[in-house]
Amino acid sequence: MTDLPLLTATSLSYAYGRRMACQDVDLEIWPGEVVAIVGESGSGKSTLLGCLSGRLRPDRGHVAYRDRDGAVLDVWAEPEARRRLLMRTDWGMVHQNPRDGLRLRVSAGGNVGERLMAVGARHYGDIRQAAQAWLERVEIDPARVDDLPLAFSGGMQQRLQIARVLVSNPRLVFMDEPTGGLDVSVQARLLDLIRGLSRDLGLSALVVTHDLAVARLLAHRIVVMRGGGIVEHGLTDRVLDDPHHPYTQLLVSSVLPA
């Protein structure tokens, strides 16, 4: 692990009209680090993810990203084209609703292959093979490579979305409830997959989840949000086992032991 963050957000704020959804948020993510964002519905988790991942332009604040050459970019000061390139290559986004992250008129294989082509892959056979290998890694029968996403169940669409994002070796992924709606066994496979990529390839991930057991197994660090702000953050097991903020204590005590 280097001692420089990959992504640094400073005083991010975002409002939908007059409703403040995200207020004065500071956050850093280091290479190889998995950070979980937890908090009640409407606390601003998806909004924060949007501001960090180039999808929602914050009203105030900065997002700095350290690229592969070590240069630091002010994400929201870069031209739109540069930001889009980052989103296609260095970053990946797994949406809360899988349909927002898939191209519904393109086959499963096409959905996965598209990201590979965005990073320069051209050989059809190779792309198809890589797509099938990734379908298998997320436990979708590779024989279904030509099916359209709408022919898949919600959980399968979710996994397809994850395969689509991870296939191109991004450096940083943003995941909004990636394991919501998945059965425990498939969920476990995905946790193992993401942990492995972070450990072996230095993948960094920012994962929104309502499931504290998932957060405990997956994340190095936890950020607790409430009312658009961060109320507590720290080492995952410290936040879960020795929560300090009243809201974190409530959150931790209202679920079965994680």
Partner 1 sequence: MTSMLRLVDVSKSFVLHNQGGIVLRVLDRLSLEVRAQECVALVGPSGIGKSTILRIAHGNYAPDSGRVIVAADGRATDIAAAPPRRILALRRDTLGHVSQFLRVIPRVPSIEVVAEAARDAGATPAEARARAEAMLARVGIPERLWPLSPTTFSGGEQQRINIARVFVVPYPVLLLDEPTASLDAENRRIVVGLVREARLRGAAILGIFHDPEAREAVATSEIDCTAVLRAA
Ligand X SMILES: Nc1ncnc2c1ncn2[C@@H]1O[C@H](COP(=O)(O)OP(=O)(O)OP(=O)(O)O)[C@@H](O)[C@H]1O
In the complex, the residues that contact ligand X under the rule CB under 6 A are: 16, 19, 21, 39, 41-47, 96, 241-242
What does 60 interact with, of ligand X, Mg ion, partner 1, none (CB < 5 to 8 A by kind)?
Answer: none
Within 165-224, the residues that bind partner 1 by CB under 8 A are 184-185, 188-189, 191-192, 195, 199, 216-217, 220-221
Beta carbon nearer to ligand X, 19 or 105: 19
| Shortest separation between residue 222's beta carbon and ligand X, angstroms | 15
Q: What is the DSSP string of 65-82?
A: EE-TTSPEEEGGGS-HHH
| Shortest separation between residue 62's beta carbon and ligand X, angstroms | 19
Q: In whole angstroms, give the CA distance from residue 22 to residue 229.
A: 6
| Shortest separation between residue 257's beta carbon and partner 1, angstroms | 9
Q: Nearest-CB residue to Mg ion? A: 46
Query: Residue 181: which residues within 8 A CB-CB, separation 6 or more?
Result: 154, 155, 158
Q: Report strand pairing: 221-226 vs 60-66.
A: unpaired
Q: Are 34 and 196 in contact (CB under 8 A)?
A: no
Among 23, 46, 53, 209, binds Mg ion (CB under 5 A): 46
Q: What is the DSSP string of 141-189?
A: -GGGTTS-GGGS-HHHHHHHHHHHHHTT--SEEEEESTTTT--HHHHHH
Within 28-57, the residues that bind partner 1 by CB under 8 A are 30, 33
Beta carbon nearer to Mg ion, 132 or 157: 157
Q: Report strand pairing: 19-29 vs 7-16.
A: antiparallel
What does 42 interact with, of Mg ion, partner 1, ligand X, none (CB < 5 to 8 A by kind)?
Answer: ligand X
| Shortest separation between residue 77's beta carbon and ligand X, angstroms | 23
| Shortest separation between residue 119's beta carbon and partner 1, angstroms | 27
Q: Are 44 and 63 in contact (CB under 8 A)?
A: no
Residue 187 interacts with Mg ion (CB under 5 A)? no
Beta carbon nearer to ligand X, 44 or 54: 44
| Shortest separation between residue 62's beta carbon and Mg ion, angstroms | 23
Residue 137 interacts with partner 1 (CB under 8 A)? no
Beta carbon nearer to Mg ion, 5 or 180: 180
Q: Are 236 and 215 in contact (CB under 8 A)?
A: yes
Q: What is the dihedral of CA 84, 50, 200, 28, to 10 degrees?
A: 110
Which residues of this chain interact with Mg ion, rule CB under 5 A? 46
